[in-house]
Amino acid sequence: MWRFPDNVDTDQIIPAEYLTTSKPEELAKHVFEKVRPEFVKNVQNGDIIVAGKNFGCGSSREHAPRALLGIGISAVIAESFARIFFRNSINIGLPVIECKIDVEEGDMLEIDFANGRIRDIRTAKEFKFKRMAPFLLELINSGGLVPYVKNKLKCR
């Protein structure tokens, strides 16, 4: 689990000079390059990001959540999200949870989406989060906007 502060912007997540590709595995090489250069080397598949307010502020670049998916991030938990980043994450199937939690970097977390609970394995502390609107949950569960649209087009 990786801790980040407030206002982590999209230029931090994936600097603009790399927006010449949209391949997640290429973008993954440059995640947080300018602010936490050790991140790319040490992140493991399945890791979780925990952040403060306004995570993902700045650009609308979908490359930002794609890069996080590409590098193996399994969920982002933040006190609050910038709205375009939040939409993009749901639309591509990156779970985003709005919740303020008291944890330390390196802790292992267990997320129970169905019941809206997060558990810190080290401290045994539990945190509750508000379930998302049913439509948005449905989008995440069906893998994002693409399957949703394909379905719609089929039903025409």
The two tokens of residue 55 are: 């995570």
Q: Does 95 bind other proteins (CB under 8 A)?
A: no
**How big is the site for other proteins, counted in residues (CB under 8 A)?**
42
- CA dihedral defined by 4, 79, 97, 23, rounded to 10 degrees? -40
- Decide: is 94 part of the binding site for other proteins (CB under 8 A): no
Select the residue interacting with other proteins from 2, 80, 99, 116 (CB under 8 A). 80
Q: Does 61 bind other proteins (CB under 8 A)?
A: yes
Q: Which is nearer to other proteins, 34 or 41 (CB)?
A: 34
Query: Which tokens go with 99?
Result: 């919740």
Grouping H, G, I as helix, E, B as strand and the rest as coil, residue 152 is helix
- Is-contact 116 129, C-beta < 8 A? yes
- CA angle centred on 44, ends 42 and 47, rounded to 5°: 115
CB nearer other proteins, residue 91 or residue 111:
91
* CA gyration radius, the chain: 15
**149: Cβ–Cβ under 8 A, 6 or more apart, which residues?**
none
Q: Is 133 in the site for other proteins (CB under 8 A)?
A: yes
Using CB under 8 A as the binding rule, whether residue 137 contacts other proteins is answered as no
Query: Which of residues 108 and 146 has its CB atom nearest to other proteins in the complex?
Result: 146
The residue ranges that bind other proteins (CB under 8 A) are 7, 9, 11-12, 15-17, 19-22, 34-35, 53-54, 57-63, 66, 80, 82-84, 87-88, 91-92, 133, 135-136, 139, 144-146, 149-150, 152-153
